[in-house]
Each structure stands twice: as C-alpha cells, then as structure tokens.
Structure 1
Amino acid sequence: MRVLLVDDEESILVPLEFLLRKGGHEVVLARTGEEALRALEEGGFALVVLDLMLPGLDGFSVLEALKGRPERPKVLVLTARGREADRAKALALGAEAFMTKPFSTRALMEEVRRLLGEG
C-alpha cells in the first residue's frame, strides 16, 4: 500500500521509510505541509503518517485540507506535541490515530498494520 510520510526531521524520515518499505509499502516523503498537500493531490495513498510541527503549513492545516475528501487516506499523527488538547484537536480533524515522539517502532508498525487492515 502507498504511504505518505510527512516529517521535517531526517532522523525520523530515514528509519521510518526503511521500516515501511521493509513492510512492503510504497513510501512517498514530504518535509513540509505544502509538499504533503501536493503529494496528496496525486492520490492513491492508503495512509498518511503526519507530524504536526512542520515548517510553513502545519499538520493541523494538512488535516483540515483532508476533511471531506472522497478518497481520504487514514491518518496517523506522529508528533512531539503530546498535550491532550493537541490529541483532541487532531482526532476532531479526522486523524484515526495519535502517537507521541519518542515512540516504539514496534508499536508504530502495529498501528500502521491496524490502520491498513493488515492484522
């Protein structure tokens, strides 16, 4: 399945890209909210792994832009912003899951599989 990985930190992008590819997924990377929206225009994504703190357009704005799309991918928010208000806002904007950094790669991959219906 096709996954859009949105984060501005190489230390997150590189290992997650590796894990997702190892899991059999096609991975597209975006480092800003604007890059994420351009990638989403292409369509075909089953899942977006989305950081909230991005340069330019933030993750909340990306979630807002996804609302109401007919072929909307599932969204897993992966962020250092662990406040309950951030979690509530992300879920209210349509995210299916919310995880905070630092995170367990095992737990993240289990959540990816759950969201994609793979286990």
Structure 2
Amino acid sequence: MRLLLAEDERPLSKAITAILERNHYTVDTAFDGQEALEYLESGIYDGIILDIMMPKMNGFEVLAALRRKGNLTPVLMLTAKSEIDDKVTGLDMGANDYLTKPFDARELTARIRAMTRTQTDHGSSRLSFGNITLDRATFELSSPTGSICLANKEFQMLELMMCNPRQRISADRFMERIWGYDSEADVSVVWVYISYLRKKLASLQANIQIRAARNAGYSLEEQI
C-alpha cells in the first residue's frame, strides 16, 4: 500500500517514514503543500498523511484542491493544533481522520489501517482468495496448512495482487507502486520477489498461483 506523507519538519518526516516502512507501507514524502499536490497528480496513492502547517500551501488548501478535483483518496490530517475548530474544519472539508502531535506510533498506524480499510474492503483487515488469506494487520499469509509472515515488499506485492485477482499487473506498475519513482532498483527485482512469493504459496499448499504473461505482467489465478 502506497502513502504520501506531506510534512515540512524533516526530522519528523523521517521518523514517520521509518515507522510506516516498518509496517509494510511504501512512502513518498513532500515537504510543502505545492509539492504534495504535484505528487498527488499521479493518482497512485492509497492514503495521504497531511500536515496543516506547511509552506506554500497549508494542509487545508491542499485538501480543498484535492476534493475539488474529485480525488477521494483517504486523508489523515496530522498537526500540532488541538483546537476543536481546526478538527471540525478539516473533517468538514473532506478529511477522513485527524491526529494531533505528539502521537503514539501504534495509534498512527491503526488510524491509517482504519481509513484505508474503509475505502477498500468495508471493514475487513483480511484479504482472501482461494484457500489463502492475507492479514493486513499482522502481515501473515495463511492457509489451512499453516501461516508465514511476509517481508515488506513481498507483502505489498501480494496485497496488490489480492486486491486485483485475475488482473494482470505489469512489472512497471509494481515498480511504481512499491519501489517508487526515486528507486535505483532494476525492474528485474520484481521477478525475484515473484519467485519468493511462489515458493511461499507452494509451502502453504495454496490452490492459487502467480501466472506470468510475457511482456504483460503477472496475475493471481486459481489453479486448474
């Protein structure tokens, strides 16, 4: 799952990014409101963490511009302000949630899970396909024969495929959504992680498989 973090305090941005990456998110960072809007033009984000007090455009202005364009990506407002008026303003403008600094890392990740879960699967933290279940809260892949905890990139790749079963996902899309625009990794890394996932599905005796279509990408399919 890919998030945009818009926070102008660089040490805090770095700390939040580390928390989110430990929780299996891919994170892009913006340090002012204008830069955040430029990132959001891509339409690739599953969630946005938006600080209010930023240079060039504040968080309220970014949120207003986003919603005017019809972009319904869930937004968590993150700010040092605790006044009720600010909370009401943000929520009335279309924010999904509000968190006041300082905050506990566990609350931040719980709120992100809650707001993105509402957008995707109506309240469940689990994705299922065939006899396989992927738990977004624990990062565990399970079947009737057992369970395995997935590493960061493995989890994100399988999550994307399980959200889009039977649909081909190109290597470029994996690179864009999971490794990011600034990554120096070669596209061949996608094949490496597909290989890891195939082995783990096999170890769980999955009745689904990852199929490759030459020059088209990968899809999660039921075994025939």
TM more than 0.5:
yes
Q: Which SS does the other structure have where 1:28 is aligned? A: strand
Could you list the per-position Cα deviations for residues 42-62 of structure 1 after superposition, in whole angstroms to 9, with x for gaps in the alignment?
111111000000011100000
| Aligned equivalent of 2:144 | none
Q: Which SS does the other structure have where 1:42 is aligned? A: coil
- Distance in 2 (CA, whole Å) between partners of 1:38 and 1:51 is 16
Q: What displacement does 1:28 show?
A: 0.6
Q: What displacement does 1:40 show?
A: 0.2
**Greater CA deviation, 109-118 or 28-37?**
109-118
* Structure 1 pair 23–41 and aligned structure 2 pair: CA distance change class (3 A): same
Q: What displacement does 1:70 show?
A: 4.0
Q: What are the residue-to-residue correspondences of 1:33-72 with 2, within 5 Å?
A: 33-72=33-72
> TM-score, normalising length from structure 2?
0.51
| Aligned equivalent of 1:100 | 100
Q: Which SS does the other structure have where 2:87 is aligned? A: helix
Higher RCO (C-alpha under 8 Å, 6+ residues apart): 1
Moved over 2 A (4+): 68-72
Larger Rg, first or second structure (1 or 2) = 2
Gaps of 5+ in 1: none
Amino acid at match of 1:76: L
- Distance in 1 (CA, whole Å) between partners of 2:50 and 2:14 is 14
| Aligned equivalent of 1:6 | 6
Q: What displacement does 1:71 show?
A: 4.2
Q: What displacement does 1:26 show?
A: 1.2
| Aligned equivalent of 1:19 | 19
Q: Which SS does the other structure have where 1:67 is aligned? A: helix
Q: What displacement does 1:68 show?
A: 4.0
Q: CA RMSD in A?
A: 1.2
- Distance in 2 (CA, whole Å) between partners of 1:36 and 1:43 is 12
Is 1:79 equivalent to 2:41 in the alignment? no
- Distance in 2 (CA, whole Å) between partners of 1:57 and 1:114 is 27
- Distance in 2 (CA, whole Å) between partners of 1:20 and 1:31 is 17
- Distance in 1 (CA, whole Å) between partners of 2:11 and 2:57 is 20
Between the aligned residues of both structures, percent identity stands at 35
- Distance in 2 (CA, whole Å) between partners of 1:85 and 1:70 is 25
Aligned residue-pair number: 119
- Distance in 1 (CA, whole Å) between partners of 2:44 and 2:3 is 9
Q: What displacement does 1:88 show?
A: 0.4
Q: What displacement does 1:69 show?
A: 3.6
Q: Which SS does the other structure have where 2:3 is aligned? A: strand
| Aligned equivalent of 2:121 | none
Amino acid at match of 1:95: A
- Distance in 2 (CA, whole Å) between partners of 1:66 and 1:93 is 10
- Distance in 2 (CA, whole Å) between partners of 1:26 and 1:109 is 13
Could you list the per-position Cα deviations for residues 76-95 of structure 1 after superposition, in whole angstroms to 9, with x for gaps in the alignment?
00100111110000001100
